[in-house]
Amino acid sequence: MRDIFERDLRGEMVSMDDPEFPKLYGVITNAQKLIHKLNTQELSPEEIRALMGELTGKPFDATNTILPPFYVDFGRNINFGKHFFMNSACSFMDRGGIDIGDHVFIAPKVCLTTINHDSNPYNRRTTFCKPIVIQDRVWIGINATICPGVTIGENSIVGAGAVVTKDVPPNVIVGGNPARVFKRIEVQHA
């Protein structure tokens, strides 16, 4: 039988009443302690990278930059590429997994959420997750929301305030609610 962490990552329904839920909640509580430290203390870039490594359980590359505050519900299921930049006040709900490629730029107040609740009102204490994938050289504009199960293709731009509910192809600019393609990007390699 799979444990609650595997079931969560596989997108299976997980109830807050599950006997294993306290294990999941323990990781969430630990993440909140680390995020509190990140958001309330004056830290050097090296200290921020060390804290992000502790939060995710993986090394946080020296080419990456995060400007606090940053909010996260879990932490362990985020994979950051290299040359990543994230501006302040972003929120990641990563229980379903968030994979971020290289040279990705994320503007302030962006929300990435991999978790959802059952639509049945008598079963709302049950959640299920779908991963988010952000491929290389993506730029996500201020206050955009990326919903569960979305992949954003390489080189694409998500406009400010967009709500992305479906996959975004490579080399396009999307915007709106729900997001739609506005323009193709002509990629010219330097």
In angstroms, the CA 91 to CA 71 distance is 5
Q: Tell me if 4 sits within 8 A of 14, measured CB to CB.
A: yes
Positions marked active-site: 117
What's the rounded Cα separation, in Å, for the pair 25 and 7?
14
Quick one: tokens of 183? 């323009």
Alpha-carbon distance of 174 to 141, in angstroms, equals 10
Closest CA to 71 of 103, 25, 19, 110: 110
Asked if 153 and 118 touch (Cβ cutoff 8 Å), the reply is: no
CA distance 171 to 156: 5
